[in-house]
């Protein structure tokens, strides 16, 4: 069976997902696209066989040839499209964040629970990355004993001029927030945000870099360096310190070149290069589940809610300079198992 897909938002990641859906993966066909920039949508649709454009995401969701929806528009627009897809009874893959406020995520959870079946998968693709999966397997098998700490770095060569300090948390660090909940199978209890000496390349009022301290409920402490203007490349690091040893993500360079008394390897240019395979695996699993009429097996609306609740607390912590406590709502049984 070929799943007819509609994509809302055809900017950077929307286009990259369309490329993988149409050229790399199997089992789907992009039937419709929509963007607030109609010329952009038209340009994308005209390059795809049988693909039409819609003026709004809601119209796209109503299209009979659209059996499943990909939401890749700006974060604050996600809620309305996810709710519309749930109402239409169509599976929806929503890029992170699920929504930009805790309240919006709660509304999505309420709608999904009322609909009576899981229909939403959130685009936390690091859970599909081979390196992080090996890290999780090693943690779960207690290869280094109980995990005590984790050091993470999320380094971006250069952010756009409209990137704000809030986005540093709810658009970027939200990946680590989701990652550590999944890696340690634990919720986050508290968060602090420190502002180191400012990078002189940071534009406007951007607080860059940031150091975010995450306390897991079991006491594991995670530090996340978020650098938005590091210059040299897109560098994602992670090292877990356990009672009996450490586990570290390796550098993803395919080869190391040794030449003229020097050695070197490639640093990825951006998230598309670094997580190329993770996005492919994430999407193939999602398509296969939709085709089989099975609920999604990736990150749920609950995961999206929990991550945004922590991000909201981190924003408070950043603005007050104090530790913020996280209290999650009770998890509906619907999301267990
Ligand atoms: P972008 O600005 O390049 O693209 C967003 C597109 O959405 C634009 O074309 C814009 O015109 C369109 N858009 C905005 N509002 C819309 C609306 N109401 N209806 C239809 N289209 C609308 O941004 P991007 O980098 O592609 O990011 C998009 C989303 O994907 C964000 O939520 C971002 O956090 C997420 N993202 C995730 C990853 C990841 O690693 N998982 C990487 C990049 C972006
Ligand atoms: C972007 O939206 C992503 O999701 C990337 O994975 C992340 O590294 C980057 O910081 C975000 O802006």
pLDDT tens per residue, range 91-137? 999 999 999 999 999 999 999 999 999 999 999 999 999 999 999 99
| pLDDT tens for each residue of 41-53 | 999 999 999 999 9
pLDDT of 337 higher than 90: no
Q: Is 271 in the pocket of ligand 2 (CB under 6 A)?
A: yes
> What is the residue-averaged pLDDT of the chain?
97
Window from 83-97, 146-160, 189-203, 253-267 with minimum mean pLDDT: 253-267
Helix H segments across 162-255? 165-167, 174-183
Cβ-contact 304, 182 below 8 angstroms: no
Contacts of 86 (CB under 8 A, 6+ apart): 92, 108, 111, 112, 115, 119, 120
Which of 1, 97, 3 has the alpha carbon at shortest distance from 312?
A: 97
- Name the CA dihedral angle for 276, 166, 302, 211, rounded to a multiple of 10 degrees: 70
CA of 72 to the centre of ligand 1 (A): 5
Q: What is the pLDDT of residue 254?
A: 79
Average pLDDT over residues 200-228: 97
Q: What is the pLDDT of residue 253?
A: 74
Cβ-contact 212, 314 below 8 angstroms: yes
Helix H segments across 260-300? 271-274, 276-291
Window from 1-15, 108-122, 248-262 with minimum mean pLDDT: 248-262
Atom of ligand 1 nearest to the CA of 171: 34
Nearest bound ligand to the CA of residue 16 = 1
Q: Is 73 in the pocket of ligand 1 (CB under 6 A)?
A: yes
Average pLDDT over residues 71-77: 97
Q: Is 10 in the pocket of ligand 1 (CB under 6 A)?
A: yes
Q: Is 301 in the pocket of ligand 1 (CB under 6 A)?
A: no
pLDDT of 327 higher than 80: yes
Q: What is the pLDDT of residue 251?
A: 78
pLDDT of 252 higher than 80: no
Q: How confident is the model at residue 312 (pLDDT cuts 50, 70, 90)?
A: very high
| pLDDT tens for each residue of 140-150 | 999 999 999 99
pLDDT of 163 higher than 90: yes
Q: Give the Cα separation of 21 and 287 in Å (integer).
A: 9
Q: Is 156 in the pocket of ligand 2 (CB under 6 A)?
A: yes
Which of 132, 67, 150 has the alpha carbon at shortest distance from 281?
A: 132
């Amino acid at each position: 069976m070929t799943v007819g897909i509609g994509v809302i938002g055809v900017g950077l990641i929307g286009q990259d997902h369309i490329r993988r859906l149409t050229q790399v993966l199997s089992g789907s066909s992009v039937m419709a696209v929509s963007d607030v920039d109609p010329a952009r949508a038209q340009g994308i649709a005209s390059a795809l066989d049988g693909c039409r454009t819609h003026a709004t995401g809601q119209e796209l969701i109503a299209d009979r040839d659209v059996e499943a929806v990909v939401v890749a528009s700006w974060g604050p627009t996600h809620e309305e499209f996810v709710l519309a897809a749930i109402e239409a009874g169509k599976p929806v893959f929503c890029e992170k964040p699920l929504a930009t406020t805790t309240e919006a995520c709660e509304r999505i959870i309420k709608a999904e629970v009322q609909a009576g079946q899981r229909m939403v998968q959130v685009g936390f693709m690091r859970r599909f990355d081979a390196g992080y999966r090996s890290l999780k397997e090693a943690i779960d098998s207690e290869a280094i004993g109980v995990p005590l700490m984790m050091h993470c770095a999320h380094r971006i060569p250069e952010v756009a001029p409209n990137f704000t300090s809030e986005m540093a948390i709810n658009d970027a660090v939200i990946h680590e927030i989701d990652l550590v909940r999944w890696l340690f199978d634990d919720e986050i209890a508290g968060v602090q945000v420190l502002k180191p000496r400012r990078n002189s390349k940071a534009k406007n009022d951007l607080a860059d870099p940031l150091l975010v301290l995450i306390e897991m409920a079991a006491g594991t402490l995670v530090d996340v360096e978020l650098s938005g203007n590091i210059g040299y490349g897109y560098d994602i690091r992670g090292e877990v310190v356990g009672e009996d040893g450490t586990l570290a993500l390796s550098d993803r360079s395919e080869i190391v070149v040794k030449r003229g008394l020097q050695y070197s390897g490639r640093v990825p240019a951006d998230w598309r290069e670094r997580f190329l395979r993770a996005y492919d695996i994430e999407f193939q699993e999602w398509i296969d589940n939709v085709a089989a009429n099975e609920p999604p097996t990736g990150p749920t609306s609950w995961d999206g809610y929990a991550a945004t609740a922590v991000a909201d607390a981190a924003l408070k912590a950043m603005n007050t300079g104090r530790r913020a406590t996280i209290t999650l709502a009770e998890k509906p049984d619907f999301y267990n198992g």
